[in-house]
Amino acid sequence: MADVLSQNEIDELLNALNSGDFDVNQVYTDKEEKKIKKYDFARPSKFSKEHLKTLEIIYENYARSVGSYFSGYLRTPTHVEVINSEALTYREFTNSLSNPIILGIVDFKPLKGNIIVKMSSKVGFAIIDRVLGGPGTILKSNRDFTQIEKIILTKIMDKLVKMMG
C-alpha cells in the first residue's frame, strides 16, 4: 500500500511545484529509467521458473509432433523426448558441438533474428540408413555426410523447421 502524505507534506510539495524547486518531468524520467535492465550476454541470466515451465511445454509438444512425423516418414516407431533445456552463451553452445553435426539456421519470423536447430550426426546417419532402406542402425565411424545425404537431411530439417511454425 502506498504511503499517505500528511497535510504539511502536501503543502510543502505544492509550494515546491509552484516555486519551481521541484521538476515533475524529472520524476517521470527517473521512473522510466528504472524500467530498463542491463543484460550481460556473456553471462546470461537464468529463466524464471514460469518461463522454463512454458518452454518445457512448448518443447514437449514439439517433440511429440516430431515423433509422430518420424514414425510416419521412417515407417518405424519413434520416440522423441526433451532431455533438458538450458540457457547457454553462444561460445558454450559452439564448444559443446561434435564434428560432424547437423545445424539448421532458421529465420524465425515474425521474431527478429535467427535460431539454430541442432541434430546429432548419429541421429542423422540413422535416419539416412532408414530412409535408404536399411534398419536404421547408427553408423559407428565418424565421417562427413555425402552430398546425397546432405540433400536428404536438408529436406528433413526443412520439414522440422516448418513444424515449429
Summarised one tens digit per residue, pLDDT across range 100-139 is 888 888 777 777 777 788 888 889 999 999 999 998 888 7
Counts of helices then strands in the chain (DSSP H, E): 6, 2
Residue 9 binned pLDDT confidence (cut-offs 50, 70, 90): confident
Note the pLDDT of residue 50: 85
Q: Is 104 found in the same domain as 87?
A: no
Note the pLDDT of residue 1: 47
Q: Is 163 found in the same domain as 110?
A: yes
Q: Is 114 found in the same domain as 76?
A: no
Residue type, 11: D
Q: Is 43 found in the same domain as 89?
A: yes
pLDDT tops 70 at residue 54 = yes
What is the C-alpha separation between 53 and 129, in angstroms, rounded?
A: 35
Q: Is 85 found in the same domain as 117?
A: no
Q: Is 56 found in the same domain as 107?
A: no
pLDDT tops 80 at residue 151 = yes
Query: Is 60 among the domain residues?
Result: yes
What is the C-alpha separation between 130 and 120, in angstroms, rounded?
A: 16
Domain with 72 in it: 39-96
